[in-house]
A and B are shown apart, each in its own frame.
Chain A
Amino acid sequence: MLDTIFFYVFALLTIGGAIATITRRSAMHSALSLIVSLLGVAGLYLLQKAEFLFAVQIVLYIGGIMVLFLFVIMLVNLDQAAKERQFNRQWLLGLVASVLVGAQMVWMLNSAGVLSLPAAVPAPAATGPGNIEALADLLFREYLLPFEVASLLLLVAIVGSVMMAKKTS
């Protein structure tokens, strides 16, 4: 019962935060709303007994990435940008499209019986090696290659952003 209540609270935070992120005019407000949304997700992880993900979510996303976001927003004068012409005029079309796709997804999930599952079955309490250990096992054994290759992905992203930021000669 309590689980269910928490689930809805976190879900509300996630969705509400996300909506606020894209509707606020001020970049600062958007960023703060995003933090709320990410917090909600972290809460959902915790409900699923994924403590590691929960911690990573908070430390990395909220602690690291979002703080960087805020730095950037405060350093760059974004108020200027807010006054410029916006390209998101087709919000009505976008809304219709998202509602349609959303409805389709709900219909498909429903057909699979996913939606009518007994609500919030508590995840079985971890036995044996803990959550983090299991994750490490997977990452460094089975998923060794993707784990390593992901570093190349980061390298490419860094090269790209450095190039973008470099002063033009």
Chain B
Amino acid sequence: MSPLSLALWTPLACLFVLLALPSSQKTAIKLWANISAVLGLLTMLPLITGYDRSNGGFQFVERAEWIPSLGIQYYIGIDGISLLLMVLTAVTAVVATLSSWEAIQDRLKQYYAMLLLLQVGMLGVFASLDFILFYVFWELVLVPMYFLIGVWGGPRKLYAAIKFFLYTLAGSVLMLLGILTLYSQHWTQFGTPTFEIDALLRLTMPFWMQQWVFWALFIGFAIKVPMFPFHTWLPDAHTEAPTAGSVILAAVLLKMGTYGFLRFSLPLLPQASMDRTIVQVVVGLSLIGILYGALVCLMQQDWKRLVAYSSVSHLGFCTLGIFSLNPNGIAGSVIQQLNHGISTGMLFLIVGVVYERRHTREISEYGGLAHRMPLFATVFAFAVLSSAGLPLLNGFVGEFTILQGAFEANRWWAAMAVPGVVIGAAYLLWLYQRTTLGQITNAKNNHLADLSWRELAVFAPFILWAFSIGLYPKPYFEIIERPVARIVERVRPGYYQDRPPSPALAQAPHAAPHTAQGGAR
């Protein structure tokens, strides 16, 4: 069994052990769930250490027949992009599991089972190299998430859960249509049934068909991201999900959409992805998403909803980066996906902390929390600054590189995205001010306990990671350099001929910290 398969199936094995535990043993269940999450993280180590940065192709490849007559295979492998997202998944799983220790008291066993199942699905999405395998995992994610929201969610959980399920399902059936078209094309052109990505890359499709397939896949991915105007499920799902659910949803699930663009839309449909109209539409939607999401955040009364809408804005940056179609934009987008996972994950955890204490999410109910919860205020500050893109922290690196890429593609895009950064800083700092600074205005907040050791431990991985990316992003850029170059080369053949052999990519990691220090001074 390759390390990749091990990483993929460990959560499932842990799930079976979990199911064998008696429901009455609550502590044992909780302990085992946390051990499983850590085990899941440990299985990432061989992938990280064994990953060859100089190789742009897929590594740890494993292949087995699944349904030969349809050409469906168990075909997995990762490149740098998937590696980063898988590690993000594993870390998020640890955080989410630990954060549920006290928050979840009801139907524990099912809860942790759903978390583990979710983990399998997410890892599978990032590891699959067969389109149907990908689709299977993609849909597999839907079910546990649906239950997480529906059973353990907030007051309007039913509505949110169904909306989440139906939106995503509607998108994915259209995606299936795209997949089937690709398959059918391969069948006509080569006479063999297959869904593997490498084989589908060989297709030569007329432009109109590429366009159709592009839009079919686009809707599936865009709903997941979510891009404006497909984002309406997100605030509800995020707001009503339990804290761990929101964290996972923000940190990983949304990335499945952007990952889909990178892994499938761009390489498989290069002409369509290059097409001026398509790029303009997608970039336009991204820009609208950035600004709209940010503006809506300014008006939110609900703490969690605010964080949810901030995702729309941040993910807008990611899609903007991808469709800048140059190394900077795409690399920045990948880094930003990672960053968004970390910082928004933290923000949701923050909401979870106060919600556990006060059972309300109204921003106006809070104020002056720093007086009673200094530790909390510090952590919250980190989260806010990381999300707002303060230099030295992770958020800055991603956004800056994306803006570089956008600028290279079209300076107006960059110009229009910049206000998003500014408003982003504004609503986050304002949120911080309203809830944490000032005097305690609400007597109910007088006796709130500060963060416990467990809660600190929940935040620790994200804080450390945020710092490490912010201070030294080079290794991350190195990991994704080759895979990104492959995508760019595929979409814009000859891109690198007009430019120095090791293009902007090499500068980016240096440029970012450099400016970072400049900014800090």
Q: Are chains A and B touching in the complex at the 8 Å CB cutoff?
A: no
Show the binding face of A for B, using Cβ within 8 Å.
Answer: none
List B residues at the A interface (Cβ < 8 Å). none
